[in-house]
Chain A
Amino acid sequence: MGASVTVRTFQEGVRAMQRTLALGLTVLVACASCASYTPTSVPIPQAGAMPAWRTEGAVAVGADPYTQLERQEAVFGGDLNKEGVIPIQVFLQNQGDRRLLVRPSDMVLVLPDGSQMNPAGATATAAKLESSGGVIASTIAFGIVGYLVAGSAADKARAARLEDYRRKELQDTKLEKNASIHGFVYFIPPPGTPAFTESTLVVRCVDSEELTSLVVHLPLRGVEFKGTPAKAEQ
């Protein structure tokens, strides 16, 4: 009788361990999947149908600030507004005969107070959405195993996000006749930037034969940037 009680107790102990292990693995898998990032595609902008659109000489330029949370989550997998990033989809079309040089570094966002900013890189933008919360929670809950599983998942997600943001970024391009290009430029207003809703995107292209500049000013409405606190931290 005593032996059967011992066996029953042992079996119950094993079952309890199995349940604990299964629960732990489920939580770990959940933590890992929380940290995943799935690259998405971007809707191709339609010429003339963008919120801001202008034609200057041989170039037509459109801009669409992606400031709505639903669109940000669909395209960037996160809330960029909360992190102080303004992603703007830009579309350019060469309507002239000569080749045009397009460089995102020639674009500037002009704020109502006259201050200007150049686009930020994809690395800085992706870094804004990095979070260590899941890794810390897993580490607290499961120790070194939790850290390794969640850390590995977070690293994979981080790399996938960065690659996706770079792929979506507008690239330096030589636009042939009738050719078009689109992509995102990311603006990160510096600390101390006041709130604003209206701004102007200034796009400069260069006629690569005449070496003349074509400058297009696109007024943007509804950006609704909430402002950033002033702080001197890199």
Chain B
Amino acid sequence: MASRPFRMAWPFGPLTLLVVAILLVGCTHTIPLKATIEPPLDVTQVPVAVGVYYSPGFRAYEHAGSRGGDRWVFPLGPASMTLFDQAFPRVFASTQPVQSRPPLPTGDAELAAVIEPKIETFDFGLPFLKTGTYTTEITYRFTLYSPRGDPIASWLVKGVGAKPGEGGFEFARWPGEAADLAMRDAATKFLTGFGEVPEVQRWLRQVKAPRVGWVPR
């Protein structure tokens, strides 16, 4: 009796292979960020005009990280600009965008200082189940310059955010909301802690501005 050559049966069809390949490749999620400050804080304003400088690197800053085989992209720069465009006018009597770090051109001489935010670190954590808690942490560095370009103060502010997710197919929503909470937390800490930074206090004495502080509602 002639023996037939053994052939192992291939159990997967081309469609199955395609689905597996798609799953293995993973997706890129661009995270939507709202960047709002809520609720409004009553902060005593410093009666000075301050320039705001957003560097090109800050404006375009994106944090991309891989988790669970997917790529998660947080456009933090544009969102942070939106956030601080709301925050800075609450601390300073007037703000004015400037196009470069000091020293300032003569036309901007009425500005008392220039403030520049920078994203120092960002990190995020994703749960295995969508109903778990999404966590984020962001650290900003703020640098306050004199109009001549001398650094007056440089300090770090950290914000943390945690948001429980829900079922469904909105994969980018919950990490985005957690990042929004972290940015909002950092902005609140900036507003409430600005007048507590010792170098800022010294500068406020020099410009004869009243000490700023947060008035709880």
Contacts and interface: CB of A to CB of B under 8 A. Distances in A.
- Which of A105, A121, A132, A148 counts the most chain B CB atoms within 10 A? A121
B82 interface: no
Contact of A105 (B68, B124, B158): B158
Interface stretch (B28-36, B49-57, B128-136): B128-136
B64 interface: yes
A211 B137 contact: no
A123 B198 contact: no
Contacts of B128: 132, 135, 147, 150-152, 154-155
A121 B156 contact: no
A213 B129 CA distance: 47
A124 B137 CA distance: 8
B123 A124 contact: yes
A135 B120 CA distance: 32
A19 to B, nearest CB: 28
Contacts of A120: 121
A121 to B, nearest CB: 4
Contacts of A148: 129
Per DSSP, chain B at the interface is strand
Interface residues of A, number: 31
Nearest to A155: B132
Given A211-B201, A234-B63, A234-B64, A121 B139 contact: yes
Nearest to B182: A123
A145 interface: no
A14 interface: no
A101 B198 contact: yes
Contact of B158 (A121, A127, A155, A162): A121
Contacts of B129: 148, 151-152, 155
Contacts of B198: 101, 206-208, 211, 213
Interface string A142-160: 0000011011101100110
A130 interface: yes
B149 interface: no
Interface of B: 63-65, 68, 120-121, 123-125, 127-129, 132-133, 135-137, 139, 155-156, 158, 160, 196, 198-199, 201-202
Given A132-B128, A211-B201, 10 more contacts: A105-B156, A121-B121, A121-B139, A124-B137, A127-B123, A150-B128, A151-B127, A151-B128, A155-B129, A206-B198
Interface of A: 101, 103, 105, 118, 120-124, 126-127, 130, 132, 135, 147-148, 150-152, 154-155, 158-159, 162, 166, 206-208, 211, 213, 234
8 contacts: A103-B155, A121-B160, A123-B160, A151-B132, A155-B132, A211-B202, A234-B64, A234-B65
